[in-house]
A = this chain, B = another copy of it.
Amino acid sequence: MKALVVSATPEPQSFIASMADLSVRVLEEQGYQVAHSNLYEMGWNPVASANDFGDRKDPDYLTYALEQRHGVEGGTIAPDISAELQKLMDADLLVLNFPIYWFSVPAILKGWLDRVIVSGLCYGGRRFYDQGGLSGKRALVAATLGGRPHMFGPESIHGPIETMLRPLLQGTLAYTGMNVIEPFFGWHVPYIQPEERAQILDDYAVCLKSLDERQLLEFPSMADFSRDLHPLKPNLTETA
């Protein structure tokens, strides 16, 4: 089994760096062959642009998704994207480690998603959700935030955290077909004591060792929608 850990933190000594190191170490102990894309250390370029394509299907007008298909088919997509895409396609498990910025991923990681999860290979046409190009892979989001659990939930000020992270959990990972494991959160990290941080790392190691027992999030199935994506059975899909 192969895993890809993608991590993003501007501080190499940060808690997220420790979590990413732990991801690599524990998964290796579990028998995975692990690749680690440490985006800040790599100097990853997050900006999707015309420079991503060595040869253009339409040199006069950039439609990013169409050029992704053309670039992957012809082997002319930028080498930094190509290298990451290979790691992603090889992986049985994708782990994302990041501090939550604005209830979302830091820009450098957003740019990894924008550039690496290419149209055609990873999704397209009717190939999404359980028909997506990355079907069969599993994904784990393991992130830190300043907030505390009582600030998230149906009656709480920010609403459910899975709702805040829906563009990532549903709109990206599940959309491309991945099985999304219940995320792991390190709560209130900037404000807690070293022993509490050590406890979070212990809990995270347990999480990594027991991925098979961890719940998968539920998402739409293409079988419940018509060819043009009208719902076939209203009221059976999740409402929010």
- A residues contacting B by CB (< 8 A) are 10-11, 13-14, 40, 46-50, 61-65, 101-108, 110-111, 113-114, 117, 129, 146, 148, 150-151, 154-160, 163-168, 170-172, 175, 190, 220, 225, 228-231, 234-235, 237-240
The contact of A107 among B110, B231, B237, by CB within 8 Å, is B110
Which residues of chain B come closer than 8 Å to A231, judged between CB atoms? Answer: 155-157
Chain B residues near A46 (CB-CB < 8 A) = 46-47, 107-108, 111
- Given A46-B47, A171-B164, do A10 and B159 touch, yes or no (CB 8 Å)? no
A227 to chain B, nearest CB (A): 12
| Cα separation A192 to B146 with both chains bound (whole Å) | 43
The closest CB in chain B to the CB of A52 belongs to B10
28 A-B pairs (CB sep. < 8 Å): A10-B49, A10-B62, A10-B64, A11-B50, A13-B61, A47-B108, A48-B107, A48-B108, A63-B190, A65-B190, A102-B110, A102-B113, A102-B114, A103-B166, A104-B110, A107-B108, A108-B111, A111-B111, A155-B234, A155-B237, A156-B229, A158-B170, A158-B220, A159-B238, A163-B166, A164-B166, A164-B167, A239-B240
- Pick from A157, A171, A237 the residue with the most CB of B within 10 Å: A157
* A166 cross-chain contacts in B, Cβ below 8 A: 103, 159, 163-164, 166
For A237, give the chain B residue with the smallest CB separation.
Answer: B155
Cβ contact within 8 Å between B10 and A172: no
Give chain B nearest CB distance to A185 CB in angstroms.
15
Enumerate chain B residues within 8 angstroms of A103, measured Cβ to Cβ. Answer: 166-167, 170-172, 175
Q: How many angstroms between the C-alpha atoms of A11 and B60 in the bound complex?
A: 9
Residues of B within 8 A of A238 (CB): 159
Establish whether residues B237 and A240, one from each chain, have CB atoms under 8 Å apart when the complex forms. no
Interface contact B101-A107, CB-CB below 8 Å? no
Q: What is the distance, in angstroms, from A54's C-beta to the closest C-beta of chain B? A: 16
Residues of B within 8 A of A175 (CB): 103
Q: Taking the nearest CB of chain B, how far is it from the CB of A64, in angstroms?
A: 6
